[in-house]
Amino acid sequence: MFQSTIPVLPSLNLDETVGFYTRIGFQVWSRHDDDYAILGREGSEMHFFLMQHLIPSESFFGCYWKVSDAVALHAEFTGLGLTNLHPIEEKPWGMREFALIDPHGNLIRVGQEIE
């Protein structure tokens, strides 16, 4: 019955959000005026809405990307010189993970199952 789950995250400035996510490989799939954007990468989809009163340092928003190669993605992001990129770690729950915080305070956790 379920086909997918899509995060819907706030943005203080959609131009900045779109710029950040296109820098890390996402493409703009749809843009609705200045208050909503849909981006995608390799079949993954993310939605962003304008939230003018967002305080990035106080954001509690986020999502989890389950990927096939967390090490390669971390290396890709490191090569881009991203700030707010946390080290990759092997977690006791069987995941290889790292975290990334976007310019508007959204916490993106990235993980790969350890085989």
User: What fold characterizes domain 8-113?
Assistant: 2,3-Dihydroxybiphenyl 1,2-Dioxygenase; domain 1 (3.10.180)
SS3 string, 42-109, reads: CCEEEEEEECCCCCHHHCCCEEEEECCCHHHHHHHHHHCCCCCECCCEECCCCEEEEEEECCCCCEEE
Report the pLDDT value the prediction gives residue 82, as an integer from 0 to 100: 94
- For 74, list phi and psi in degrees, rounded to 5: -60, -45
- Tens digits of per-residue pLDDT, 49-69? 999 999 988 989 999 999 999
Q: Is residue 41 pLDDT above 90, yes or no?
A: yes
Residue ranges per structural domain of the chain = 8-113
Q: What pLDDT shows up at residue 83?
A: 87
Q: How much is the pTM?
A: 0.93
- The mean pLDDT of 84-92, rounded to a whole number, is 96
